[in-house]
Structure 1
């Protein structure tokens, strides 16, 4: 059953514009060590119908290649996965991974929990598909902003189905509580302002009762640590979502999950694709280094805290 949205001509207009925006990946980044094949497309079946996915393969195909499910952001409104191709290219190059970027459905055409279910169905398909040039047993999840929440949601649904967790998860500027529209920052014009928070809720989470469900707001899931594999969380110090990310880190660590956390001091929500190339490069380094470590050390001690900085604000 779908909920009726409050009438808002402004939000409706913004949604129509936002759903058509094609945010490109940043330019001027270091080239892969070996030329990569051009991205391809495929159709992946889900319970809501087939969805388009962009696929970035490594320079050399192997049947046991890791497969990364990369879930883009966009406030549950924008649906252009190519915005994360710079992430996909680095992962394909350094990890020898096949990176799959699904074009999941967004609001206001659909509403919660369509994208959450599509992300889970895609993950199941990646794990079960045979002869596709990757190993489903080496599934990695990565997401930015809304996509980071979807990555968490995949883990929740795998756990609920008594299925193995992914090998590891990386979460960039995750949102974990969609009931909130009061987040603020010390900077004057943060990217995720209260206005943007209200707009995202109107577009994709119009049912305020369902916003409180653990799948909608993972921070409300008491069993979340049991569902999560080793996790990396990257946040921006000026981002209105930064405290939410820190709370997630504490929740996972308290539950025994091996969790690493880095705060990019002075960065807002969009640092993974912003103007500071040094921050983007460091972000990509941290993502790939974390995945490489988890792929090579499956028995990593979940109680270990690798971050020596007590306040976790590791300045570049």
Structure 2
């Protein structure tokens, strides 16, 4: 799907042009270089509490997690596991600071963001294992975190959205922890790249070549194989039953458009409640790159309102069921 500049929403078009000039495609070499540049919160934050902690993995190594808490935290509030994007190859939890602040402002909640292993360090399934370990840790430490273990939510953007979708499938199948709500924003789901939007896509920020290189790193020896598990590429799943209520959105110009649409349809067919929007003239991560654009404000509002609805509706429903 070839993307011309005139197809891009006017308010984000200039940013798109600049990004195309600065960085047209992520190569494996570029992924490995950028993976070393991790953003960290160094100054004291005044709008929320920020705590770094190291938790154990099964192999006895330790993983860094970032804990974000409201300044005035209520009791027994939802806990959110937020997974950062970056094509599975780059990024750090702190990159999600803005969206995490919005979640806490919208509804008093505690957000945990793991510094999961990147594909340049270790291929699948290490990132998923780290995310699941963090989810279990949240459940086991719910009381000290001040969250309810039956109100655990999971979300992420891009590759973090893909990990969100994979994690809900994995948690469903394992049966050790229940996820109440999921938020896989413009998720990276399908390694096969056989949809119209994922083929020959030259959109700003994330194009088909970047997508190909990222999947190659993430899957390792599984790349281009027929036996890729759906925990690695959730679009390969056949059974979407008993997954949590979902909110997601995607731009209509980006490679992940069609796989997101198909994922939503699969969820709906399985009886899973879904809130979904497609935003015209938008490339990957448009709402983060151009947050002041009207289309970005609409996307952010849609996402946050859906999150707030989930907290007020689904969790209230759980409380009522517990009283009966």
TM interval, shorter chain, is 0.7 to 0.9
**Is structure 2 residue 287 aligned with structure 1 residue 287?**
no
> Is 1:47 aligned with 2:67?
no
Aligned partners of 2:55 and 2:65 also within 8 Å: yes
Give the TM-score, by structure 1 length: 0.81
Offset from partner CA, 1:147-190 (integer Å, 9 cap, x none): 01111122112111124531111121112112327754797534
Maintained 8 Å contact 1:45/1:122: no
**Whole-Å Cα distance in 1 between the matches of residues 55 and 287 of structure 2?**
27
1:192 equivalent among 202, 206, 222: 206
Query: Which of 272, 275, 285 is the aligned partner of 1:270?
Result: 285
Task: Quote the residue 1:309 is aligned against.
Answer: none
**Aligned partners of 1:41 and 1:89: how far apart in 2?**
16
TM value normalised by structure 2 = 0.79
Contact 2:253 2:283 in 1 (8 A): yes
Task: Give 1:84's match in structure 2, choosing from 86, 96, 106.
Answer: 96
- Residue of structure 2 equivalent to 1:203: 217
Q: What residue in structure 1 maps to residue 18 of structure 2?
A: none
Q: 2:272 matched to which residue of 1?
A: 257
How has the CA–CA distance of structure 1 residues 186 and 180 changed in structure 2, closer, same or farther, with 3 Å as cutoff? closer
Once structures 1 and 2 are overlaid, which stretch shifts more, 190-199 or 74-83? 190-199
From the two aligned structures, give the one with the greater helix fraction: 2
Corresponding residue to 1:99 among 111, 114, 120: 111
Contact 1:46 1:122 in 2 (8 A): no
Aligned to 1:237: 252
How far, CA to CA, are the matches of 2:281 and 2:199 in structure 1?
A: 11
Post-superposition Cα deviations, 1:108-161, rounded to whole Å, max 9, x if no partner, equal 210001101111111111112131222222111111010011111221121111
Aligned to 2:172: 159
3-state SS of 2:156 partner: strand
- Show structure 1 runs of 5+ residues with no match: 1-9, 26-34, 302-316
Structure 2 alignment gaps of length 5 or more: 1-25, 318-324
What is the CA-CA distance between 1:47 and the residue it aligns to?
Answer: 2.4
Corresponding residue to 1:115 among 120, 124, 127: 127
Q: In the TM superposition, what is the alpha-carbon distance from 1:244 to its structure 2 partner?
A: 0.8
**Is the 8 Å Cα contact of residues 114 and 130 (structure 2) preserved in structure 1?**
no
Q: Distance in 2 between matches of 1:274 and 1:211?
A: 36
SS of alignment partner, residue 139 of structure 2 = helix
Equivalent runs, 1:109-148 vs 2, <5 Å: 109-129=121-141, 130-148=143-161
